[in-house]
Amino acid sequence: MDPEEIKALLKAGIDAARGNNLIIARSIFQQVIDADPRNELAWMWLAQVSDNTEHRRQALEEVLSINPNNEKARLALDKLQTGTGSLRPASTPPSRPSESGLRRPTSFPQSGGASEPPNYLRPVQRHELPGNIWANSRRENSRLGFYLTGAVAVGLIGLAVLLIILRVTGDEEAATETDTPTPVIIFSPTATIPTPTPTQGRIVPAITVTQRTVDLPPTWTPSPTWTPLPSPTWTPQPPGLDQYTIVYAGNETAGDPFVLYSIVADGTQLQEVRISLPPLEITSDEEPAQEPTEAPTEEGEPAEEAPTDVPTEAPESSGEVEILDPALSPDGTQLVFTAQEGAIQELFIMDYPSGTPRQLTYLGAEQTLGAAWSPDGVNILFASNATGDFDVYMLDLTTGDDPFNWTNDEDFDDRDPAWSPDGRAFAFASDRAAKGQLEIFVTPLQGGEVCQMTDSSNSSFAPAWSPDGTRIAFITNRNTDNDLFVMRSDGATERVLSVNDGDAEERDPAWSPDGLWLVVSSNREGSDTSNLWLVSADGGTWQRVSESSGEARDAQWLTNSLAVGPAPDYTFNCAR
């Protein structure tokens, strides 16, 4: 079953549940789970519509096994366990349902279908649902009708037997008094007993018959009072894409110099971030061309020579200056980027969006890029090949000191640094495990063992840490072309998000401030150039953002009020 069918089936199940068609809803949600066992929303709804306490508990446990951070499921499970008197504590990991309980396939698909907000006001359309749903409903309704008919028949039979008994009793009493005068029957307890009258010499007494009340069973048994099921807990809809702003490097036409753009995540309000750059400067160790100027001296002391290690303008180049690799500060007020002139790249910093750029590095390297801000906005990590191979450098903005070479090792190629959200470690790509083959590593800043996160064929690189610290996105070409993967932040449970994309190449992943989306550069849908695409955190939704005929690369999100920090219990642990 493809993702679109799963999405339509899930929507139909929600509509049925909202319309109180619980039998149909259960059947639909079970079909969704059979097709996608990791569908958290289907398990959650199945728990809501289940009429069996054990099944509801099993469904909630499945939700928690998929998403341990689902507080609504955990609260519901705790409440359910308290109500049923279970002795198993709420913190016990959920167990798998038995074969007699809810069904679950043994293989899981790699990604879910596209999700969109359901329209709960639309009635269930019979022609949109699978045929076997109505067959199941008819069987359930037939069984219910059979039970009701049997109950009414038993009641009628009981009434008939009681009436027969009363009639037989009355006939026997009448037969015993056929030779006696007709008695005077008094039904009212307040009636006056008449005086006996002589009849042919005999006194015929008046006979008082006490009326006997018989409680006959009603012919109609009222249905039990209908108690509505509790409505599912309201879940707020994710914010619209118009709430996010993205800054990226690109051009309008392939071959033009790269400049910076900003765009709203729904593809609107595209505009260029205009930057006026001063000439690049590098540090030269050569003797200056002119003679040093002698300064006045006192008491015949020799004149001081002019320093040789001073900034000088980079050699003129015929190419234009390009602006690459933007990196926004955590508070969104500053921007670091790479400026390339000719064969030289250096880092610059400016107030965002319209400050005056200031040069940060003077390495004179061919590649100096990949700037990443620390969560406190004090330090910047970046990669450069100033020493021949790539190393990760750290720059302290508060001191103005030269950048510190953190991974100074001539034998390894270290690049693509990414801070952990708590600022205690950073991830990077390196070939230290196998020469020429990059893998993802994490190193603690306070010292400790470097953790290897990935171990696969070909290369894995460009790590991006989620805002809550629980996941790391990265790019890998283990399946020939560059694909987007996500793993737990301890290096376990890798999962591909860019499925069914042919030979498309994904690059430069970056998380939204709330961790709900990733933005990547990709040439999906047969495009000749790379544009920006949004992908939901589960890989179920892909949406194109930029529509340029040129390139769009190195996207970064502007921090906003939706931003989240590390999870309260987050601590980095190495799974390997």
pLDDT tens digits, one per residue of 483-530? 999 999 999 999 999 977 888 999 999 999 999 999 999 999 888 899
Which tokens in the block code for residue 555? Answer: 């996207």
Chain mean pLDDT for the chain: 78
Higher local confidence (pLDDT), 325 or 480:
325
Give me the long-range contacts of 182-190 (CB less than 8 A, separation at least 24). 183/207, 183/209, 185/209, 187/211
Whether omega for the bond prior to residue 353 falls within 30 degrees of 0, making it cis, is yes
CA angle 349–354–360, rounded 5-degree value: 10
Dihedral of alpha carbons 26, 32, 33, 38, sign: negative
Over residues 448-461, the pLDDT tens digits come to 889 999 999 999 99
By residue count, the chain amounts to 576
Share of the chain above pLDDT 90, in %: 43
Q: Is 375 left (phi over 0), alpha (psi -120 to 50) or beta?
A: alpha
pLDDT of 318 reads 43
User: Measured between alpha carbons, how far is 158 from 216 in angstroms, rounded to an integer?
Assistant: 9
Q: Is 98 left (phi over 0), alpha (psi -120 to 50) or beta?
A: beta
Q: Residue 440 is inside which H or E element, if any?
A: strand 437-444
pLDDT confidence band for 398 (50 / 70 / 90): very high
pLDDT of 49 reads 87
Higher local confidence (pLDDT), 129 or 560:
560
Mean pLDDT lowest for which of 331-335, 443-447, 453-457, 491-495? Answer: 443-447
User: Measured between alpha carbons, how far is 367 from 363 in angstroms, rounded to an integer?
Assistant: 9
Domains of the chain by start residue, with CATH: 3-110 (1.25.40.10), 242-284+310-557 (2.120.10.30)
Residue 466 CB partners (closer than 8 Å, separation 6+): 421, 472, 473, 489, 511, 515, 537
Q: 216 pLDDT exceeds 90? A: no
Closest CA to 537 of 486, 491, 494: 486
Q: Residue 162 is inside which H or E element, if any?
A: helix 131-175
Q: Compute CA distances 77 → 37, 82, 369, whole Å.
A: 19, 9, 49
Higher local confidence (pLDDT), 255 or 233:
255
pLDDT of 85 reads 40
For the CA atoms of 173, 176, 181, 182, the dihedral, rounded to the nearest 10 degrees, stands at: 20
149 phi/psi in degrees, rounded to 5: -65, -40
3-state secondary structure of 506: strand
Over residues 272-308, the pLDDT tens digits come to 999 998 888 876 443 333 333 344 444 444 444 444 3
Higher local confidence (pLDDT), 568 or 200:
568
Closest CA to 554 of 414, 382, 389, 386: 382
Mean pLDDT lowest for which of 180-194, 300-314, 318-332? Answer: 300-314
pLDDT of 167 reads 67
Closest CA to 552 of 246, 159, 313, 329: 246
User: Measured between alpha carbons, how far is 250 from 273 in angstroms, rounded to an integer?
Assistant: 11
C-beta of residue 506 within 8 angstroms of C-beta of residue 494? no
Which tokens in the block code for residue 5? Answer: 């069918």
C-beta of residue 367 within 8 angstroms of C-beta of residue 389? no
User: Measured between alpha carbons, how far is 417 from 380 in angstroms, rounded to an integer?
Assistant: 10
User: Measured between alpha carbons, how far is 365 from 529 in angstroms, rounded to an integer?
Assistant: 27
pTM for this prediction:
0.57
Given the DSSP bridges, would you call strands 481-488 and 344-351 parallel, antiparallel or unpaired? Answer: unpaired
Q: Compute CA distances 150 → 138, 144, 430, whole Å.
A: 18, 10, 75
Mean pLDDT lowest for which of 55-64, 75-84, 513-522, 549-558? Answer: 75-84
pLDDT of 211 reads 52
pLDDT of 170 reads 58
Q: 477 pLDDT exceeds 90? A: yes
pLDDT confidence band for 141 (50 / 70 / 90): low
Q: 387 pLDDT exceeds 60? A: yes
Residue 137 CB partners (closer than 8 Å, separation 6+): 21, 23, 24, 27
Q: 270 pLDDT exceeds 50? A: yes
3-state secondary structure of 226: coil
Identify residue 225 by its one-letter amino acid code.
T
Identify residue 384 by its one-letter amino acid code.
S
User: Measured between alpha carbons, how far is 487 from 460 in angstroms, rounded to an integer?
Assistant: 12
pLDDT of 234 reads 57
191 phi/psi in degrees, rounded to 5: -70, 150
User: Measured between alpha carbons, how far is 520 from 533 in angstroms, rounded to an integer?
Assistant: 5
Dihedral of alpha carbons 295, 297, 301, 307, sign: negative
Mean pLDDT lowest for which of 110-114, 322-326, 524-528? Answer: 110-114
pLDDT of 433 reads 92
Share of the chain above pLDDT 70, in %: 70
* Mean pLDDT, residues 424-449 taken together: 93
Dihedral of alpha carbons 484, 488, 489, 491, sign: negative
User: Measured between alpha carbons, how far is 35 from 544 in angstroms, rounded to an integer?
Assistant: 27
pLDDT confidence band for 2 (50 / 70 / 90): confident
Closest CA to 32 of 113, 120, 99: 113
Q: From the CB of residue 48, how many other CB atoms can be counted at a distance below 10 Å?
A: 21
* Mean pLDDT, residues 11-31 taken together: 87
pLDDT of 515 reads 95
Q: In angstroms, what is the C-alpha Rg of the chain?
A: 40
Q: 317 pLDDT exceeds 60? A: no
User: Measured between alpha carbons, how far is 487 from 456 in angstroms, rounded to an integer?
Assistant: 13
Q: Provide the terminal-to-terminal Cα distance of the chain, rounded to the nearest Å.
A: 35
C-beta of residue 408 within 8 angstroms of C-beta of residue 389? no
pLDDT of 143 reads 63
pLDDT of 358 reads 95
Instruction: Say how far residue 87 (Cα) sits from the centre of its chain.
Output: 32
Dihedral of alpha carbons 69, 72, 77, 79, sign: positive
* Mean pLDDT, residues 173-194 taken together: 47
